[in-house]
């Protein structure tokens, strides 16, 4: 088992007892800090996964915080090959400490960053451009800051369907159809279903027709409907219900939507969500590694 380091060059490992104070501090920067803020909150409340959080040794004067592993499924399954980072957008000069970090982060190896604020990613790209290439996937963060009044009086399902809390036996089906399943292992979905609000719409025959779960980073995500059950309003019903449940649990509801996904944008806008900022999921590949891969090397993707 990989050793968990107590400190790096510029960062130190947080004790669990310190997390409430950290949550309160980065709460000042909502909604821009929302993913990191609610990752900490979900970890403290529900322990969905075994994460490690580091802050600068000069915190809070230099407010940069790291989350390892940033993705739960990476090619080598190592703690320190994946992370996410938050820094207030008006203090990005402190990301120099990230650039200089050579104990926790090995910049000579591929690195996998989970969704990170686009301004932070741009700053990382500035200093990484000499080191390697960045493969990016964009997302838009939509947040419900002011809950919209629900004018519906009842939920009417088509064809005698019903909505139920999912059970771990549904995890494999959900994982198989999850678009980024190469970055999230099936065990994460099992833990999410066990510990967090995760709902499915089941057809009259008992088949799982549509589903939506709360993520370990607090977001409402992985909403999908099987093609044969689309245009029945299941997505809207799930999103509306999970928004209510997430809010009651003390979270600020948010989703990550791909820029080209107009249907999801329309759905969440209808529920009162608004776009707040752009986020980026990225793979950082050192130049030498990138050359090896192009030349037919065996480096994991």
What number of CA atoms fall less than 13 Å from residue 182's CA on the CB side? 5
Sequence-ordered alpha helix ranges (H) in 47-185? 96-100, 118-128, 171-177
Q: Is 133 exposed, middle or buried (0-12, 13-18, 19+ CB in 10 A)?
A: middle
Same domain, 238 and 177: yes
Is the separation of the CB atoms in 19 and 42 below 8 Å?
A: no
Minimal CA–CA distance to 43: which of 185, 166, 196, 189? 196
Is the separation of the CB atoms in 11 and 22 below 8 Å?
A: no
pLDDT tens per residue across all 301 residues of the chain: 689 999 999 999 999 999 999 999 999 999 999 999 999 999 999 998 889 999 999 999 999 999 999 888 888 889 999 999 999 999 999 999 999 999 999 999 999 999 999 999 999 999 999 999 999 999 999 999 776 665 554 566 666 789 999 999 999 999 988 888 888 889 989 999 999 999 999 998 889 999 999 999 889 988 888 889 888 889 889 999 999 999 999 999 999 999 999 989 999 999 999 999 999 999 999 997 554 554 443 333 2
How many domains are contained in the chain?
2
The rounded distance, in Å, linking the Cα atoms of 131 and 192 is 36
Same domain, 24 and 68: yes
Same domain, 129 and 176: no
Same domain, 36 and 124: yes
The rounded distance, in Å, linking the Cα atoms of 56 and 10 is 6
Is residue 272 situated within a structural domain?
A: no
Same domain, 128 and 17: yes
Is residue 212 situated within a structural domain?
A: yes
Q: Domain containing 182 — which CATH number?
A: 3.40.630.30
Is residue 148 situated within a structural domain?
A: no
Domain enclosing residue 70, as ranges: 11-138+281-286
3-state secondary structure of 298: coil
Query: pTM of the full predicted structure?
Result: 0.89
Same domain, 172 and 121: no
b/e map 229-257, b = 16+ CB within 10 Å: beebbbbebbbbbbbebbeebebbbbbbb
Is residue 174 situated within a structural domain?
A: yes
Is residue 147 situated within a structural domain?
A: no
Same domain, 87 and 121: yes
């Amino acid at each position: 088992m990989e050793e968990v380091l107590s400190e790096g060059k510029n960062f130190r490992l947080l004790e669990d007892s310190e997390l409430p104070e950290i949550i309160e501090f980065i709460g000042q920067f909502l909604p821009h800090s929302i993913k990191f803020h609610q990752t900490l909150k979900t970890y403290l409340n529900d322990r969905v996964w075994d994460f490690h959080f580091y802050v600068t040794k000069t915190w809070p004067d230099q407010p940069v915080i790291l989350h390892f592993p940033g993705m739960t499924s990476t090619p080598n399954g190592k703690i320190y090959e994946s992370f996410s980072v938050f820094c207030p957008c008006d203090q990005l000069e402190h990301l120099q400490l990230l650039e200089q970090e050579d104990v926790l982060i090995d910049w000579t190896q591929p690195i996998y960053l989970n969704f990170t604020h686009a301004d932070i990613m741009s700053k990382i790209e500035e200093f990484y451009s000499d080191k390697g290439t960045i493969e990016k996937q964009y997302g838009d963060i939509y947040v419900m800051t002011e809950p919209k009044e629900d004018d519906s009086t009842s939920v009417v399902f088509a064809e005698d369907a019903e909505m139920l809390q999912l059970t771990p036996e549904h995890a494999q089906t959900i994982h198989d159809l999850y678009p980024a399943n190469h970055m999230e292992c099936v065990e994460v979905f099992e833990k999410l279903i066990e510990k967090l609000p995760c709902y499915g719409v089941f057809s009259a025959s008992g088949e799982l027709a549509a589903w939506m779960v709360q993520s370990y980073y607090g977001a409402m995500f992985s909403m999908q409907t099987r093609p044969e059950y689309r245009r029945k309003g299941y997505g809207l019903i799930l999103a509306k219900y999970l928004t209510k449940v997430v809010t009651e649990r003390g979270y600020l509801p948010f989703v990550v939507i791909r820029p080209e996904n107009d249907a999801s944008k329309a759905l969440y806008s209808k529920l009162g969500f608004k776009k707040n900022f752009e986020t980026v999921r990225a793979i950082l590949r050192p130049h030498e590694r990138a050359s090896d891969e192009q030349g037919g090397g065996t480096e994991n993707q």
